[in-house]
Amino acid sequence: MRVDQIDTSQYQTLLDQKVKDTLELFKGLALPEHSVVASPEKHYRLRAEFRVWHQGEDSYYIMFDPATKEKFRVDHFLPGSELINQLMQAVREAFLANDILRFKLYQVDFLTTLSGEALVSLIYHKPLDDNWQREAEQLKTELNKIAPLNIIGRSRKQKILVEQDFVTEKLTVCGEEYSYKQIENTFTQPNGFINQKMLEWANNISSSLSHDLLELYCGNGNFSIALANQFNKVLATEISKNSVKCANFNLAQNGINNTVIGQSSAEDFSAAYFEGKPVKSLKEIDFNDYKFSTILVDPPRAGLDQDTESLVQKFEHILYISCNPETLAKNLTAITSTHEIADICFFDQFPYTHHIETGVWLRKK
């Protein structure tokens, strides 16, 4: 659905149909009673990207119709946070009045937070020079009247920071506040409200578990940090070097000292843990120090490969966070040969689309 055609009065009907369609994918699986967490009906997205279209003396934001690929103008972005919508207008007014900021401007990206911080990336088809930086610094000063904000300028082989390239998010989970550094161009959950609800769901389940937690695909430590206090120790892995650095920073910021982040793919970790194969990035981790009872996986849309399916089946408890019900259904068909589904919850991370986030807790039969 095009964002300029969203009808919020249809939200609940669309969500009910989405859940019904998703449950169809799980036919044949023994499911407990499911639960559903609805999203706010508008202003739920914390990040957005817009192309800039230049037409004579005017320039404005555009997006593309997902069905026809035709462009359409965007002056107001209903899914975007209220801060995104404020900044969209302020940034457009600024570049319309400033030839240096406007010339060859190709795209504008916004990253905002529930904590009220923001990052604006201006992407160009031209080299950026001192004149551009001077105007961008002035723009930052003006935009700081709206919110604490930083600017990034990008062009081919250039990245200019007007102070810094990250925001600090603050999430409240089961009454505890956690701080997360979120870097430009790294993955973050787009729907902050739903992210908090997913963390609370995982936290509540983990409160009944014990021993140590292994997490694969940990990103910037989103789940690791919120669940650390429920386990004796946590070992988390992530293949992205930048995300590992960010996760370690976040652990320190939150005073968490029972968690270790290792840079590794799920496949390499499995080979190191179960077969003893040497993995350089994991060489300083002594697996004998851990007594794992639970594994948490939050894989990309492709889901778990066959080796990782086999890996998770070795654990007493599995927490599986999925952004793709189709690959989740395939994985669950294999995993339920050894485990039963104890809880399933649907989180409407992406309103007005067919996408839905699913949390599943499985325990060994």
CA distance 40 to 37: 10
Q: Cβ distance 96 to 102 under 8 Å?
A: yes
Tokens (6 digits) for 282: 């994991």
Backbone φ/ψ region at 95: left (φ over 0), alpha (ψ -120 to 50), beta: alpha
State the helix-helix crossing angle for 82-96 and 130-143, rounded to 10 degrees: 140
Tens-digit pLDDT profile for residues 320-341: 999 999 999 999 999 999 999 9
Query: DSSP letters along 102-114, please?
Result: HTTEEEEEEEE-T
Q: Which two tokens stand for residue 76?
A: 């107001």
Rounded Cα distance, 235 and 317, in Å: 15
222 marked as binding residue: yes
Cross-strand pairs, 207: none
Under the banding of pLDDT at 50, 70 and 90, the label for residue 288 is: confident
DSSP 239: S
Give the Cβ contact number of residue 207 at 10 Å. 11
Query: Would strands 339-347 and 357-364 be described as parallel, antiparallel, or unpaired?
Result: antiparallel
Report the distance separating Cα 181 and Cα 49, nearest Å: 20
For each of the domains in the chain, give its residue range(s) and CATH number, in order of start.
3-41+169-364 (3.40.50.150), 47-167 (2.40.50.1070)
Number of CB atoms found within 10 A of residue 320's CB: 24
Give the pLDDT confidence score for residue 147 in this predicted structure: 97
Q: Vertex 192, ends 47 and 329: CA angle to 5°? A: 100
Q: What is the pLDDT of residues 188-228, one digit of tens each?
A: 899 999 999 999 999 999 999 999 999 999 999 999 999 99
Residue 238 counted as an annotated binding residue: yes
Neighbours of 175 (CB within 10 A): 6
Q: How far apart are CA 26 and CA 34, in angstroms?
A: 12
pTM for the whole thing?
0.94
Confirm whether residue 298 is marked as ligand binding.
yes
How far from the centroid of its chain's Cα atoms is residue 107's Cα?
A: 21
- Position 95 scores a pLDDT of 97
User: Which residues are marked as active site?
Assistant: 323, 357
Which H or E element spans position 248? helix 241-253
Percent of the chain with pLDDT over 90: 85
Confidence band, pLDDT 50/70/90 cuts, at residue 286: confident
Using the structure block, give the residue that is written with the tokens 């989405």: 18
Question: Sign of the C-alpha dihedral, residues 215, 267, 250, 109?
Answer: negative
Residue 279: pLDDT above 80? Answer: no
> Residue 189 in contact with residue 219, Cβ under 8 Å?
no
Model confidence at 276: pLDDT above 80: no
Percent residues over pLDDT 70 in the chain:
100
Q: How many CB atoms lie within 10 A of CB 50?
A: 20
Mean of the per-residue pLDDT values of the chain: 95
pLDDT score, position 190: 94
Query: How much is the pLDDT for 342?
Result: 98
User: Exposure string (b/e) for 93-107, b if CB count within 10 Å is 16 or more?
Assistant: ebbeeeeebbeebee
Confidence band (pLDDT; 50, 70, 90) for 133? very high
Length of the chain: 365
Binned at pLDDT 50, 70 and 90, residue 268 comes out as: confident
Which residues 6+ apart lie within 8 Å of 276 measured at CB? none
